[in-house]
């Protein structure tokens, strides 16, 4: 690679006459993560200008063209299936760095979920912590106060043999402990409750852990801030943390396949500081209340390059930047390093010159550093200066808009088949399911998170009698002091279904998200999606992506529930293996009155138990078949009209006060749903599944068919419930055991204490 020094710390890259081999060398040596075709496109551009680029320009372009920043492989598919879905109930106020949706006449809620997968695979504590920090800033830069966090996590099995690990791959137990600690320490210290999430174990995540983080905030409608600027002569002011070498090439790293040498890219992992984030949040909210912010964006993936480019290009402005004004953590940083650094806890504010003193006063009050690094201007070009010398002069469109691909794809159709295993010992199988990694208690994780801080969490992630709590379907936040209106939050994914059929798995994911919200008496309102997939350069992976997006779009369009924000994470591949297709949903629902919220625990002896929805012999992707090693490609199908009808019926029954507990039927099927309700209420039940049809008992108990709930109905309210909801009565609450029969055949009778021991000890031997 040929360089020519033109200034102190600035080099010219001899690109114009570089051969293909030299272009590849430039990309690899500088860590650009660009393909040969992309390097050629860059070369042709500078040939048209008649000059070589500076190293600042090359790094700026590479960052803007990264998969993480430009969505070059996914934009076309997202436009086709996901974008622009009309809403039946939710009024979308704005779609920017996060979705802004109407909450009431005066307020909006803001939320988003995104990935921090590659950094967490290399440095689980720091990667997970900065994932939380980054998503908080996405909410903050819309002017909203962050009030809740979620954490969907996906690991390899905790008992995975060490000898089977590939070189450079960390063991799932190490990753689990590090990731949970990072989320715990950041969320707890910054004072935002972690209220919902997923912890999922699957061999497909051994090489590539998935760490997704979501945040929800609340804002007055008249205080919403845009992430774009459309006014010239605004001062661009950096506030918060200083800029360092941590996080350099983070987005480029996220756009590459992990391998044995990925550990050497540890500098791509940012360093979070929740102690600094907390006063930064106060500063931003006070500055916004004072009306001095004309535009704002957080410095996360892509650093200054993404922020300045996207803010100005989105508003039709250009910018002039002076990098020597940026406050640094360490001496000797080159201009390109400053431009692409993804150091945490930084925000860029656009303010008018007459408001600068007010911002300075607020920064002094909260002990937060600030520096004026440039200004907006008319024009098309971004100009960057280093000690008075221009080191970058490029059209913002070329740098920021990036490239876009219509990647070839291949949809693989699997043969429909289902093995019929020998009928199991029901008691033993039931207890094995309760103690399996994906069904057993995650209390060890949940209890490390402060889900009570801020005092807004009405329904917690663990629900039931004190000392006997079980998992709930969704958490509920009461965001406003003087209103009983609430927000329900849940996260959903199902990789076991995804690896069989991405289309139906996506429909099922939407179905489960709706079920979870309805279970707590919330009307499903809006979605944010985090789409985790393998290498998009593989046709079969793009086929999975197309099918998943088609399923997500079809479901949301039929339900009238829009995707208001989202994220795509590609290149989750290592050693030739890709993760299962894993679209994750963060779903938000409106609770009209939090005092009418429903939890999942059984309440009172003598109450009736009803099953809403149809059970079918669809065992593909089920925990039952995974546990016994049986094969099936018959995944649960979703009837969207049925989902709408049943949801409306249940919400009406809940509003009438007929339902005292409710739980969706998902992982482990009906048997597990009943067990979890018993455990949370510390009370047993007697159930007869004879009315579910002529199928075998194991299918009735362990099928994970969609659109199903178990409801506990007040004694004496059965007739009114049956006239409101299409459902079948299957039992009564009572006793100290869960007793299940199929007509006259008893399948098992298990005491609460035995169920609880199995459920609580699922991860006991593998966690701290």
Tokens of 344: 């945490």
Other CB atoms closer than 10 Å to residue 201's CB: what's the count?
A: 24
Q: Which residues of 728-764 are buried (b: 16+ CB within 10 A; e: fewer)?
A: ebbbbbbbebbbbbbeeeebbebebeebbebbbebbe
Nearest to 736 by CA among 752, 747, 748, 749: 752
CA distances from 3 to 16, 47, 53, 354 (A): 12, 17, 10, 44
Question: Whole-angstrom Cα distance, residue 326 to residue 246?
Answer: 15
What does the block give as tokens for 116?
């921090």
Q: Please say whether the beta carbons of 568 and 71 come within 8 A.
A: yes
DSSP tag of 243: B
> Cβ distance 667 to 705 under 8 Å?
no
Which of 76, 117, 42, 534 has the alpha carbon at shortest distance from 301? 117
SS3 498: helix
Q: What are phi and psi for residue 679, nearest 5 degrees?
A: -65, -45
Residue 470 C-alpha from the chain's centroid: 23
Quote the strand ranges of 482-578, DSSP E.
486-492, 523-532, 563-569, 573-574, 577-578
Phi-psi group of 250: left, alpha or beta (phi > 0 → left; psi -120 to 50 → alpha; rest → beta):
alpha
Whether 59 is catalytic is no
CA 149 to chain CA centroid, Å, is: 10
Q: Which of 59, 107, 116, 118 is catalytic?
A: 116
DSSP state of 153: E
Q: Among 68, 107, 202, 451, which one carries the catalytic annotation?
A: 68
The phi, psi pair for 432, rounded to 5°, reads -65, -40
Cα distance between residue 558 and residue 353, in whole Å: 49
- Tokens 């009405």 belong to 458
Distance CA 653, CA 647 (A): 10
Q: Distance (Å, rounded) from C-alpha 37 to C-alpha 52?
A: 18
Asked about 451 being catalytic, the answer comes back as no
Q: How far is CA 151 from each of CA 194, 251, 507, rounded to the nearest angstrom?
A: 7, 21, 21
**275, two tokens:** 């102690």
Secondary structure, 3-state, 269-294: CCCCCHHHHHHHHHHHHHHHHCCCCC
Coil, helix or strand at residue 674: helix
Q: What angle do CA 431, 435, 436 make, to 5 degrees?
A: 115
The whole-angstrom separation of Cα 319 and Cα 326 is: 15
In whole angstroms, what is the distance from residue 688 CA to residue 690 CA? 6
How large is the greatest C-alpha to C-alpha distance in the chain, in angstroms?
A: 88
Kindly list the distances between the CA atom of residue 94 and the CA atoms of 91, 423, 512, 524, 662, in Å, as whole numbers in the listed order. Answer: 9, 54, 26, 18, 33
CB-based contacts of 468: which residues, under 8 Å, 6+ apart? 601, 679, 680, 681, 682, 756
For residue 524, which of 567, 582, 586 has the smallest C-alpha distance? 586
- 480 dihedral zone (left: phi>0; alpha: psi -120 to 50; beta): beta
Phi/psi for 632 (5° steps) reads -160, 140
Residue 214 CA from chain centroid, whole number: 5
**Residue 691: CB atoms within 10 Å:** 12
Query: Where in the sequence numbering do the catalytic residues fall?
Result: 68, 116
């Amino acid at each position: 690679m040929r360089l020519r020094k033109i200034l102190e710390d600035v080099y010219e890259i001899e690109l114009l006459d570089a051969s293909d081999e030299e272009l590849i060398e430039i990309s690899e040596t500088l860590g650009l993560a660009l393909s040969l075709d992309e390097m050629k496109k860059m070369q042709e551009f500078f040939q048209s200008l008649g000059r070589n680029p500076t190293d600042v320009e090359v790094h700026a372009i590479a960052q803007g063209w990264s998969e993480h920043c430009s969505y070059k492989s996914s934009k076309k598919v997202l436009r086709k299936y996901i974008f622009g879905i009309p809403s039946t109930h939710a009024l979308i106020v704005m779609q920017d760095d996060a979705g802004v949706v109407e909450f009431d006449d005066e307020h909006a809620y803001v939320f988003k979920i995104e990935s921090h997968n590659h950094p967490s695979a290399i440095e689980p504590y720091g990667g997970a912590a900065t994932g939380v920090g980054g998503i908080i800033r996405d909410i903050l830069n819309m002017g909203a106060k962050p009030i809740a966090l979620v954490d969907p996590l996906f690991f390899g099995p905790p008992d995975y043999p060490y000898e089977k690990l590939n070189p450079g791959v960390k063991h799932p137990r190490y990753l689990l402990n590090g990731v949970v600690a990072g989320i715990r320490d950041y969320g707890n210290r910054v004072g935002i409750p972690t209220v919902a999430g997923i912890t999922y174990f699957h061999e497909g995540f051994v090489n590539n852990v998935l760490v997704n983080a979501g945040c929800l905030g609340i804002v007055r409608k008249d205080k919403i801030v845009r992430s774009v600027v459309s006014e010239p002569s605004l001062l661009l002011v950096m506030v918060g943390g200083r800029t360092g070498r941590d996080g350099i090439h983070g987005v480029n790293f996220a756009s590459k396949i992990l391998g044995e040498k990925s550990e050497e890219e540890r500098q791509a992992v940012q360093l979070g500081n929740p102690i600094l984030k907390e006063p930064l949040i106060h500063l931003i909210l006070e500055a916004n209340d004072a009306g001095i912010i004309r535009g704002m964006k957080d410095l996360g993936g892509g650093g200054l390059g993404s922020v300045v480019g996207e803010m100005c290009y989105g508003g039709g402005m250009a910018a002039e930047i002076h990098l020597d004004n940026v406050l640094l953590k360490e001496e000797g940083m080159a201009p390109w390093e400053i431009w692409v650094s993804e150091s945490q806890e930084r925000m860029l504010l656009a303010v008018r010159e007459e408001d600068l003193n007010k911002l300075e006063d607020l920064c002094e009050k909260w002990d937060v550093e600030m520096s004026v690094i440039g200004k907006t201007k008319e024009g098309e070009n971004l100009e960057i200066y280093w000690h008075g010398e221009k080191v970058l002069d490029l059209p913002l469109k070329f740098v920021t808009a990036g490239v876009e691909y219509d990647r070839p794809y291949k949809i693989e159709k699997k043969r429909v088949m289902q093995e019929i295993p020998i009928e199991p010992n029901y008691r033993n199988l039931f207890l094995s399911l309760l103690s399996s990694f994906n069904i057993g208690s995650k209390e060890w994780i949940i209890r490390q998170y402060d889900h009570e801080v801020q005092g807004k969490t009405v329904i917690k992630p663990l629900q039931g009698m004190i000392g006997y709590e079980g998992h709930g379907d969704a958490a509920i936040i009461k965001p406003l002091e003087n209103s009983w209106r609430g927000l329900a939050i849940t996260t959903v994914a199902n990789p076991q279904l995804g690896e069989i059929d991405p289309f139906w798995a996506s429909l099922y994911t939407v179905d489960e998200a709706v079920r979870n919200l309805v279970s707590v008496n919330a009307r499903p309102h809006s979605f944010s999606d985090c789409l985790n997939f393998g290498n998009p350069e593989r046709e079969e992976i793009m086929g999975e992506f197309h099918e998943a997006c088609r399923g997500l779009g079809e479901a949301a369009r039929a339900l009238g529930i829009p995707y208001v924000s989202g994220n795509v994470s590609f290149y989750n591949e290592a050693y030739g293996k890709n993760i299962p297709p894993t679209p994750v949903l963060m779903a938000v629902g409106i609770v009209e009155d939090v005092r009418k919220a429903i939890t999942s625990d059984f309440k009172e002896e003598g109450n009736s138990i009803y099953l809403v929805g149809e059970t079918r012999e669809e065992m593909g992707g089920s925990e039952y078949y995974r546990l016994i090693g049986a094969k099936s490609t018959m995944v649960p199908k979703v009837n969207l009209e049925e989902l709408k009808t049943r949801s409306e019926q249940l919400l009406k029954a809940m509003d009438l006060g007929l339902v005292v507990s409710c739980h969706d039927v998902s992982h482990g099927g009906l048997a597990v749903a009943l067990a979890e309700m018993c455990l949370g209420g510390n009370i047993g039940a007697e159930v007869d599944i004879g009315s579910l049809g002529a199928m075998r008992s194991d299918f009735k108990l362990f099928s994970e068919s969609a659109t199903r709930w178990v409801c506990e109905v007040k004694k004496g309210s059965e007739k009114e419930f049956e006239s409101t909801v299409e459902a079948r009565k299957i039992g009564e609450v009572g006793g100290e055991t869960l007793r299940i029969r199929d007509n006259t055949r008893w399948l098992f009778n298990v005491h609460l204490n035995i169920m609880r021991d199995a459920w609580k000890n699922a991860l006991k031997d593998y966690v701290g």
